[in-house]
Amino acid sequence: MLELVDVVKGFSVGGHRVEPLRGVSLAVQPGDYSAIIGPSGSGKSTLLHVLGCLERPDRGEVIVGGRSVQTLDDEALSIFRGRTLGFVFQRFHLVDRMTALRNVEMPLDYRADLSRAERRTRAEAALAQVGLAAHAGHRPRQLSGGQQQRVAIARALAARPRILLLDEPTGNLDPETGAEVLSIVRDLRRREPQMAVILVTHDHDLAARAERCYRLDAGKLWPVASAGADRAGGQMLRAL
């Protein structure tokens, strides 16, 4: 479904070459629930951006559905992202002047295959999925942090993605609100069993809830847990 093959990604910082990804390989199948852990600055967000086709690798391949995304030009890549991937950012990235409904609907405005009525219906359904149908007319400043994150999740879900990418989804939330957001993710997985979920986090307890876990360290991705370790309480993760 989604595969990274020996992906290398680097940047120039102060005249020096920094490579957070140094030959990363990863395969994601329909229905997978995977977590990627690592300390701040390890390159987790860079990896998620490559997975989400927001950044192109310097070397290696990103393959989705058997097709290399490197063969797509910027316009084709944008269409591909809009129809295949859902991205939930840590900082929500909601537009203050727009209602929750419009924030969810806005990315669908670029979908030529959807009528205006279909876009609105999808946005309303996505808000209902995260329990915010009654807040459709509220603007971000009228919502709590947890509610804003729910809107961000609804915005990703409105595209009906095959792959949902979550970048520190509870990083700006208190523990109780973070638990509510994770409960929504669990419910979504029950409703959409074929949708793959990839979670990036520095929280080992959060990562232990995933079925598969990887640690990003020194530019490489290492498997550190299995579904069995998760059910046993994630001792393997917490020991790292």
Q: How far apart are CA 4 and CA 227, in angstroms?
A: 22
Instruction: Kindly give the pairing relationship between strand 220-225 and strand 212-217.
Output: antiparallel
Q: pTM value?
A: 0.86
Question: Hey, what amino acid is at 45?
Answer: S
Q: Which of 102, 93, 89 is nearest to 165 (CA)?
A: 89
> Which of the pair, 139 or 191, is modelled with greater confidence?
139
**Residues 132, 144: contact at Cβ < 8 Å?**
no
pLDDT over 50 (residue 69): yes
Q: Would you state the pLDDT for residue 73?
A: 87
Q: Which CATH architecture best describes the domain 31-56+74-230?
A: 3-Layer(aba) Sandwich (3.40)
**Residues 1, 64: contact at Cβ < 8 Å?**
yes
pLDDT over 90 (residue 112): no
pLDDT over 60 (residue 15): yes
Among left, alpha and beta (phi > 0; psi -120 to 50; other), residue 164 is: beta
Q: Would you state the pLDDT for residue 83?
A: 85
Q: Which of 46, 65, 63, 42 is nearest to 54 (CA)?
A: 46
pLDDT over 70 (residue 108): yes
Structural domain boundaries in the chain: 31-56+74-230
Q: How far apart are CA 79 and CA 110, in angstroms?
A: 8
User: Would you state the structure tokens that stand for residue 90, as one six-digit string?
Assistant: 């840590």
Q: Would you state the pLDDT for residue 62?
A: 93
- pLDDT tens, residue by residue, 29-60: 999 999 999 887 888 989 999 998 889 999 99
pLDDT over 60 (residue 237): no
